[in-house]
Amino acid sequence: QQKVQQSPESLIVPEGAMTSLNCTFSDSASQYFAWYRQHSGKAPKALMSIFSNGEKEEGRFTIHLNKASLHFSLHIRDSQPSDSALYLCAVSAGGYKVVFGSGTRLLVSP
């Protein structure tokens, strides 16, 4: 059964800093890797996804995927207070199921 773990559990960074969030998974056949963001009291919403090894950048957000290491990460450049949220990584090996990590709670202090 797929195991997905995130680190750190929580993080406080100053406004303008680079934020790095990590996710490890156990199934080497996984094909879909994503980050979801959940603001307090709201629904999770997909932020970015990647399917093949390497890097993908969208604005201030970058995903790195290394399938051989069973690891992917999210980097937020120039972190803003509005980025404060719970970040969930998600992994799927195909089919219907997506397994979510337990989350990293990010606080960006002004």
Partner 1 sequence: EAAVTQSPRNKVAVTGGKVTLSCNQTNNHNNMYWYRQDTGHGLRLIHYSYGAGSTEKGDIPDGYKASRPSQENFSLILELATPSQTSVYFCASGKTGTGHAEQFFGPGTRLTVL
Of 53, 66, 102, 109, the one binding partner 1 (CB under 8 A) is: 102
Q: How near is the Cβ of 98 to partner 1 at its closest, in Å?
A: 5
Does 53 help bind partner 1 (rule: CB under 8 A)? no
Q: What torsion do the CA atoms of 38, 53, 7, 98 make, to the nearest 10 degrees? A: 50
Provide the residue type at 66 as one letter.
N
Mark 3-22 with x for binding to partner 1 (rule: CB under 8 A) and - for no binding: ---x----------------
Does 107 help bind partner 1 (rule: CB under 8 A)? no
Cβ(36)–Cβ(90) below 8 Å: yes
Q: If 0-12 CB within 10 Å is exposed, 13-18 middle and 19+ buried, where does residue 20 land?
A: middle
The residue ranges that bind partner 1 (CB under 8 A) are 1, 6, 31-32, 34, 42-46, 49, 51, 88, 90, 92, 94, 96-103
